[in-house]
């Protein structure tokens, strides 16, 4: 069996959506003739931890964990945050929100010295261990998963040292993305240089949404487009138990994930408030359930909402419990970040929603998410700022569920194309191709 070294920061016990892509690759690659060896960190400073995911690491996987220098303890001290506060929940502020002096200092340090990101302290440990793994395991190819973008630099060094073919995987764009720091000229130039060298030197680049590939072509017009491959996120059908929606006469809309800054439920809450005020829905017959990690502004929105007694906030849940919550809901809420280029963003969570086969109310611009929802006949797509359209979608879904005995029928054949097993098979084909060409 051929062997691939997978370089990834996010791996159990890391939680959150970023870990699922690699974890499922590791699970299903042997079915297509590839044995994975994973290079990851020991005691990572993850935005979320999910110890239950350790049980999902398949027995065939060989996992190597190395030391890492994590600077976020200092970052928390500088910004006055609690020692265990997630570092990502407040780093994409809403337009017009001013940062405190300590936050500005911390952001300046982050943007000036942590290039391409704050995980650069892993680089020396990972390169050293990666070379040893390649020698010991007889590795045939390398795959890296970014962000963090440090993983791509690690894989690039291993690629150059060993001559092994390398597929660079990306779940988000690199420079200029809404979650990347605003750097001043000199560090920004370094970051752009590193980004360009990765895209040019990788044997192949795969991306979880097409907008990432468009971003690469825009930045590097002369890049060989044949090595740019779209490999979507997906869902694992084996993760979904036989759970039915609650039959309690309460229309429950569930959101799972994180919310902060530009990704927030303000217009959705306003739409529901209007529906209640107009009598289009019965206040006591609705529940809005938000599960995950939420920034201070979002928590304030919950508290200030006139229907706050119908809002339930639940902290981060293990992945299996989160999936059960999706299955028990009557509808699912998806919110795409408000930002330039957001029409291209496809959150990995939308595929998990598709796998649950519950109607989706998506607050998203016309673009990739809207096309996906319509392709799979999975629900409603409304502009994030159109409160009237949001209200109408909510009321229609509410009435169909409680009063019209409507049976939701998505396009299951289209949904099956996004099963993780199928996506992993496609990755295995790419791996076969790169070693054949090399």
Residue 204 has pLDDT above 50, yes or no: yes
Residues 6+ apart with CB under 8 A from 318: 15, 50, 51, 52, 53
Phi and psi, residue 166, nearest 5°:
-140, 125
Q: Which of 93, 56, 90, 52 is nearest to 258 (CA)?
A: 90
Residue 103 has pLDDT above 80, yes or no: no
Q: Is pLDDT larger for residue 262 or for residue 130?
A: 130
User: Does the pTM of the predicted model rise above 0.75?
Assistant: yes
Looking at the structure, tell me whether residues 222 and 295 fall in a common domain.
no
Q: Lowest-confidence range among 86-100, 175-189, 284-298?
A: 86-100
100 within a domain of the structure (yes/no): no
Residue 77 has pLDDT above 60, yes or no: yes
Mean pLDDT of 336-352: 85
Q: How would you classify the pairing of strands 166-170 and 34-41?
A: unpaired
Looking at the structure, tell me whether residues 203 and 255 fall in a common domain.
no
**Count of structural domains, the chain:** 2
State how far the alpha carbon of 77 is from the alpha carbons of 84, 113, 193, in Å: 11, 17, 31
CATH code where residue 298 lies: 3.40.50.2000
Q: Which of 173, 215, 158 is nearest to 39 (CA)?
A: 158
- Tell me what pLDDT residue 354 has: 97
Looking at the structure, tell me whether residues 305 and 364 fall in a common domain.
yes
Q: Copy the structure tokens of residue 38.
A: 């994973």
Q: Which of 132, 179, 128, 133 is nearest to 157 (CA)?
A: 128
Task: Name residue, tokens 């764009």.
Answer: 173
Looking at the structure, tell me whether residues 36 and 158 fall in a common domain.
yes
Residue 313 has pLDDT above 60, yes or no: yes
Looking at the structure, tell me whether residues 300 and 412 fall in a common domain.
yes
Looking at the structure, tell me whether residues 425 and 411 fall in a common domain.
no
Residue 332 has pLDDT above 50, yes or no: yes
What is the extent of the structural domain holding 288? Answer: 241-416
106 within a domain of the structure (yes/no): no
Mean pLDDT of 120-143: 97
Mean pLDDT of 3-29: 96
Looking at the structure, tell me whether residues 423 and 371 fall in a common domain.
no
Reported confidence tier of residue 31, pLDDT bands at 50, 70, 90: very high
pLDDT tens digit sequence for 210-266 = 999 999 999 999 999 999 999 999 999 999 998 877 778 899 999 999 888 778 999
Phi and psi, residue 120, nearest 5°:
-60, -20
pLDDT tens digit sequence for 166-180 = 999 999 999 988 778
- Tell me what pLDDT residue 104 has: 72
Looking at the structure, tell me whether residues 230 and 249 fall in a common domain.
no
Q: Lowest-confidence range among 98-107, 114-123, 136-145, 280-289?
A: 98-107
- Indicate if the alpha-carbon torsion angle 264, 268, 273, 276 is positive or negative: negative
Q: Which of 153, 164, 161, 230 is nearest to 194 (CA)?
A: 153
Mean pLDDT of 122-150: 98
Question: Distance between CA 243 and CA 256 in Å, rounded?
Answer: 17
- Tell me what pLDDT residue 92 has: 47
Reported confidence tier of residue 100, pLDDT bands at 50, 70, 90: low
- Tell me what pLDDT residue 74 has: 67
89 within a domain of the structure (yes/no): no
98 within a domain of the structure (yes/no): no
Looking at the structure, tell me whether residues 426 and 390 fall in a common domain.
no
390 within a domain of the structure (yes/no): yes
323 within a domain of the structure (yes/no): yes
- Tell me what pLDDT residue 88 has: 53
| Percent of the chain clearing pLDDT 70 (strictly above) | 92
101 within a domain of the structure (yes/no): no
pLDDT tens digit sequence for 78-97 = 666 666 665 554 444 455 55
Mean pLDDT of 381-390: 95
3-state secondary structure the chain: CEEEEEECCCCCCECCCHHHHHHHHHHHHHHHCEEEEEEEECCCCCCCECHHHHHHCCCCCEEEEECCCCCHHHHHHHHCCCCCCCCCCCCCCCCCCCCCHHHHHHHHHHHHHCCCCCCHHHHHHHHHHHHHHHHHHCCCEEEEEECCCHHHHHHHHHHHHHCCCEEEEECCCCCCCCCCCCCCHHHHHHHHHHHHHHHHHCCEEEECCHHHHHHHHHHCCCCCHHHEEECCCCECHHHCCCCCCCCCCCEEEEEEEEEECCECCHHHHHHHHHHHHHCCCCHHHEEEEEEEEECHHHHHHHHHCCCHHHEEEECCCCHHHHHHHHHHCCEEEEECCCCCCHHHCCCCHHHHHHHHCCCEEEECCCCHHHHHHHHCCCEEEECCCCHHHHHHHHHHHHHHHHCCCCCCCCCHHHHHCCEHHHHHHHHHHHHHHHHHHC
Question: Distance between CA 183 and CA 416 in Å, rounded?
Answer: 41
Question: Distance between CA 380 and CA 374 in Å, rounded?
Answer: 8
Beta-carbon count within 10 A of 66 CB = 17
Looking at the structure, tell me whether residues 153 and 42 fall in a common domain.
yes
90 within a domain of the structure (yes/no): no
pLDDT tens digit sequence for 412-428 = 999 999 999 999 999 99
Looking at the structure, tell me whether residues 6 and 130 fall in a common domain.
yes
Question: Distance between CA 350 and CA 356 in Å, rounded?
Answer: 10
Please report how many Cα atoms fall inside a 13 Å half-sphere around the Cα of residue 397, on the Cβ side.
Answer: 27
Q: Copy the structure tokens of residue 385.
A: 């700022």
- Tell me what pLDDT residue 334 has: 97
Looking at the structure, tell me whether residues 215 and 247 fall in a common domain.
no
């Amino acid at each position: 069996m051929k062997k691939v070294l997978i370089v990834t920061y996010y791996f159990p016990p890391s939680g959150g959506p970023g870990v699922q892509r690699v974890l499922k690759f590791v699970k299903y690659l042997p079915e297509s003739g590839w044995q994975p060896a994973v290079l990851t960190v020991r005691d990572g400073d993850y935005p979320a931890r999910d110890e239950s995911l350790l049980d999902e690491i398949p027995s065939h996987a060989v996992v190597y964990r190395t030391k890492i220098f994590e600077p976020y303890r200092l970052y928390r001290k500088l910004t006055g945050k609690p020692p265990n506060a997630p570092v990502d929940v407040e780093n994409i502020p809403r337009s017009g929100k001013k940062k405190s002096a300590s936050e500005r200092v911390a952001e300046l340090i982050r943007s000036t010295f942590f290039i391409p990101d704050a995980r650069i302290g892993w680089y020396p440990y990972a390169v050293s261990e990666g070379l040893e793994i390649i020698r010991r395991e007889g590795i045939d190819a390398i795959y890296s998963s970014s962000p963090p973008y440090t993983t791509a630099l690690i894989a690039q060094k291993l690629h150059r040292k060993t001559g092994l073919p390398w597929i660079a995987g990306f779940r988000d764009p690199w420079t200029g993305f809404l979650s990347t720091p605003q750097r001043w000229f000199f560090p920004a130039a370094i970051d752009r240089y590193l980004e360009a060298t990765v895209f040019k030197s990788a044997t192949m680049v795969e991306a979880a949404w097409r907008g990432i590939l468009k971003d690469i072509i825009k930045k590097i017009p002369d890049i060989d487009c044949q090595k740019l491959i779209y490999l979507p996120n997906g869902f694992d059908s084996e993760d979904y138990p036989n759970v039915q929606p609650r039959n309690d006469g309460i229309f429950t809309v569930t959101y799972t994930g994180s919310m902060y800054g530009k990704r927030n439920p303000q217009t959705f809450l306003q739409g529901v408030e209007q529906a209640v005020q107009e009598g289009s829905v019965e206040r006591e017959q609705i529940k809005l359930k938000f599960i995950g990690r939420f920034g201070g502004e979002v928590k304030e929105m919950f508290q200030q909402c006139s229907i706050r007694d119908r809002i339930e906030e639940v902290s981060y849940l293990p992945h299996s419990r989160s999936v059960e919550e999706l299955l028990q809901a009557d509808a699912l809420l998806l919110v795409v970040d408000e930002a330039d280029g957001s029409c291209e963003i496809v959150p990995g969570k939308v595929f998990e929603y598709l796998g649950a086969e519950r109607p989706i109310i998506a607050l998203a611009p016309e673009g990739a998410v809207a096309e996906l929802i319509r392709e799979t006949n999975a629900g409603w797509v409304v502009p994030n700022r159109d409160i009237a359209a949001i209200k109408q979608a909510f009321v229609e879904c509410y009435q169909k569920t409680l009063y019209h005995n409507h049976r939701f029928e998505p396009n299951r054949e289209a949904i099956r194309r996004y099963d993780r097993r199928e996506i992993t098979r496609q990755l295995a084909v790419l791996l076969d191709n790169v070693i054949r060409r090399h």
